[in-house]
Amino acid sequence: MARSTDKTLRNQVMYQIFVRNFSEEGTFSAVRERLSEIKDLGVDIIWLMPIHPVGKVKRKGSLGSPYAISDYRAVNPEFGTLDDFKALVDDIHRHQMKCIIDVVYNHTSPDSVLSKEHPDWFYHKEDGSFGNRVGDWSDIIDLDYSNKELWSYQIETLKMWAEIVDGFRCDVAPLIPLEFWLKARKEVETVRKGAIWLSESVEPEFIRYLRSQGMTALSDSEIYNAFDICYDYDIYREFKDYLSSKGSLSRYADAMMRQEYIYPDNFVKLRFLENHDQTRAAFLIPDERTLRNWTAFLYFQKGLTLIYAGQEYGAAHLPSLFDKDTVDFIKRIDLSAQMKRLYSMKKDPLFTDSVYNVRAAGESFIVASHQKGERKAVGVFSLKGESGLVEVDLPDGFYENILTGEETEVFRCGVQSHGEPIVLLVKR
């Protein structure tokens, strides 16, 4: 585990933006216009998906994937200039938020600056041509980290951006040697003390596949040596299986509890219902009441909460990575007021460092709790929007549901759920 990882990251909310599709203009300046609204939602960190120029060779779609980068040290001119980007980051800081950017270090576009200037820094197929080792990524070519000159270039690039931003979200970080990330973190610290490091850790099945192909594939336990935050993909399959009725709720709860003893004490997970690679939450969970419960549980979980732009208004369409496909901010399911209340809850120090427990109550309810000394928060979440009597570990009495301000009775260790999320806080 990164020894300097601060547990207060568990009290924070991150908001993900793809500049191209965040607005009709698709510019840094257009993002600036929405910063007050984003801050008001309850956000601590803005994650900007890749801001760099996109390659033109073997490009997918009309505009190409932002993850097929042609120059790590430049900004995409479609978004604006470097000065425009700096102005955006300055404005994010004025709104008392931090900014992290995407780092895509496993590969570049086939026509990248590095492929032209340093072709020896790349993986080559048997015929000597550029290639990649994951078949469906046809618009990129892989870098080869056996070359230490590449390490120096990449780390110097990180230090350059660390003069401006507060940290990095690192794309498919497990495909790159751990020793590189350890060295990168140490050197970036000299430029940006306390920089945030988020790893896109990958699914267990993908790790096994990559290892079967003789490739580097770091587990979460390994990647935590260099990173503060890892994705929740180690339990994402159980989440999806429950939603599709392929798996049980208890299996999902058990998977979450397993994280409590396989990772170090200060582990931080990125908790999400959706991101740019996954189906929108409102598409997976179209019922508004059920979505409100899942959203409340998202914030209640132990870890850093991720919101993908548009999620606050129930956007159901996942924007394309390859074309102009502007996020629909029409308020079909307006979760913004709920998110503001949940943000206040998440700031409670109880959510920083607690004994965390999760269990399934049948196939419809999750009961979770945070406890530190005599302070305790208990959450009851109806994940099918159903009513029912749910057992909770609280003394009988009346408690305030801090999500609504309403009085809720616990009687004979049971609470009556009417299908809406409940969070009861014992204030001692």
pLDDT tens string 168-187: 999 999 999 999 999 999 99
Q: Which residues of the chain have pLDDT under 70?
A: 1-2, 428
Instruction: Find, among 364, 310, 298, 334, the residue nearest to 10 by Cα.
Output: 298
pLDDT in tens, 376-395: 999 999 999 999 999 999 99
Nearest-angstrom CA–CA distance, 358 and 381: 11
Q: What is the pLDDT of residue 2?
A: 67
pTM: 0.97
Kindly give, in sequence order, each residue whose CB lies less than 8 Å from that of residue 101, ignoring residues fewer than 6 positions away: 47, 48, 50, 51, 161, 165, 168, 169
pLDDT in tens, 85-141: 999 999 999 999 999 999 999 999 999 999 999 999 999 999 999 999 887 889 999
DSSP 95-162: TT-EEEEEE--SEE-TT-HHHHH-GGGB-B-TTS-B--SSTT-TT-EEB-TT-HHHHHHHHHHHHHHH
- Residue 118 tokens, joined: 């340093």
Q: What is the pLDDT of residue 428?
A: 62
Place of tokens 């993850």: 67
- Residue 356 tokens, joined: 């965390």
Q: What is the pLDDT of residue 368?
A: 98
